[in-house]
Structure 1
């Protein structure tokens, strides 16, 4: 079985609207930290010099949002109330695991460039690969945006979905839609421009707000979709980190190609 990494790294060197802070602790610093903590909390006295090479264990502290890097958006991200179920959206730790290890298919939207893909765009992409999505398939949108990851352009030039296109995928029974772009919606400048042109509130972040009416998740900031050797007939694992009460969780998304035996 071939494993293909579909994840964007969390990298403090990347340009981000909300910058990542990475504070590494060296093994030598770890020794000072550990011995000091032992004295403070347990009254135990241990000298750094007594440790092998005067070192203990390294550590890393990252400060970032749950939407940095490749992550899964939970229904709670879309709003505080829903039009389905009991009206309370589920957080990332409450979602069924079997949504996130499933057969997947990838749609090539790279020719669009930037803006919002429509139902016609998705129908054309499905026709090209000759595939009819099944319930609980994971839909992956290859827009080409991941090539710009780490730059300001990554946040302003990509392809998202309009409202009907989002509904179109959900009508197949899809519960997880992934994209290699910053957002499943079109870029902010495109959305604001469309709203100012039309005055139609339905163009305001429709892919996200659809989640207030229908329960689904989205994976944002995927990568390496161009490396997939087939457009369907493979599985994806994108299990989110269990952040209690959170509207999103990071994931190491992986495509699994071939027979797992």
Structure 2
């Protein structure tokens, strides 16, 4: 069995924009020794070669800052008229299943991924979608991960392609770009230029009427075959949250 990590490291990166900054404080072993002494254990009763214990505190990390999975609650307070699921309410059986990679690396920046792009890829490579698969969209833009312009580059999913995947029985899907839609700054600009009130965040907003989850900021999809593997994407159980960091892995037997 081979396990391939599809998650980015969680660490401080000075090039991340302010809304992605992560800050972790690492506490050395020796600090715990003084804590134990204050709690009442004399130094002479410390175990031999006892260094204390290391500890760490996450001081700043948004739930969307790293490799994560979005809950339906992120897209809208309701889904098809019912309260949307928060992250701890997502069924765990959604989070493990047969995986499929859809290769869209040829798509230019700001050129949305359409239904015909996906069906053409599946037909060309003799691949078939099955209900409850976990579909991974490979754009190649994870090479910009950790750079200042990561959120400004890449292709992204259209509303039509997102809805089409849901209609095939796909509950969980993911992408190795910064976001699921086209880049956020580009969408803001085009919505204003076209005066189209339905343009902005169109793929996310499919979740207003059809229930699904997507992952963002995946990495290492080039290490995967198109099919023949399982995906595990178990989020942290943060009550009431719109998303959660996840250690996403692919498992190849």
Return the TM-score normalized by structure 2. Answer: 0.92
Q: Which moved more, 1:127-136 or 1:87-96?
A: 127-136
Trace 1:233-252 onto structure 2 (pairs within 5 A). 233-252=228-247
Q: Determine if contact 1:178/1:220 at 8 Å carries over to the other structure.
A: yes
The verdict on how the C-alpha distance between 1:56 and 1:117 changes in structure 2, with shifts beyond 3 A counting, is same
| Structure 1 residue 193 displacement after superposition | 2.7
Q: Are 1:29 and 1:55, in contact at CA under 8 Å, matched by a contact in 2?
A: no
The yes-or-no answer on 1:20 pairing with 2:22 is: yes
Report the counterpart of residue 31 of structure 1 in structure 2: 33
Alignment partners' CA distance in 1, 2:107 and 2:30 = 51
| CA positional deviation for 1:58 | 0.5
Give, in whole Å, the separation in 2 of the partners of 1:135 and 1:220: 21
Query: What's the counterpart of residue 109 of structure 1?
Result: 104
Corresponding residue SS for 1:121: helix
> What is the total number of aligned residue pairs between the two structures?
248
CA distance in 2, matches of 1:181, 1:12: 19
What's the C-alpha RMSD, in Å, of the aligned pairs? 1.6
CA contact (8 A) 1:72 1:251 kept: yes
TM-score of the superposed pair, with normalisation by structure 1: 0.89
Match runs of 1:1-261 below 5 Å = 1-13=1-13, 15-17=15-17, 18=19, 19-36=21-38, 38=39, 45-48=40-43, 50-51=45-46, 52-53=48-49, 55-62=51-58, 63-84=60-81, 87-115=82-110, 116-228=112-224, 230-258=225-253
Q: Deviations over 1:144-191 (max 9, x none)?
A: 111111111211112211111111111111000101111101101221
Deviation for aligned residue 1:249: 1.2
Give the Cα–Cα distance (whole angstroms) in 2 for the partners of residues 121 and 194 of structure 1. 22
CA distance in 2, matches of 1:135, 1:161: 19
Report the alpha carbon displacement of residue 248 of structure 1 after superposing the two structures with TM. Answer: 0.8
Change in CA separation of 1:239 and 1:14 when aligned onto 2, cut-off 3 Å: farther
Greater CA drift, 120-129 or 201-210: 120-129
**Partners in 1 of 2:3 and 2:49 — Cα distance?**
38
Aligned-partner Cα distance in 2 for 1:54–1:137: 49
Q: Unaligned regions of 5+ residues in structure 2, if any?
A: none
Deviations 1:32-71 (A, max 9, x none): 23444x3xxxxxx124564344631101112201112111
Looking at structure 2, the residues matched to 33 and 172 of structure 1 have their Cα atoms a distance apart, in angstroms, of 56
Once the two structures are TM-superposed, the CA of residue 208 in structure 1 deviates from its matched residue by 1.1
C-alpha distance in 1, partners of 2:176/2:36?
Answer: 40
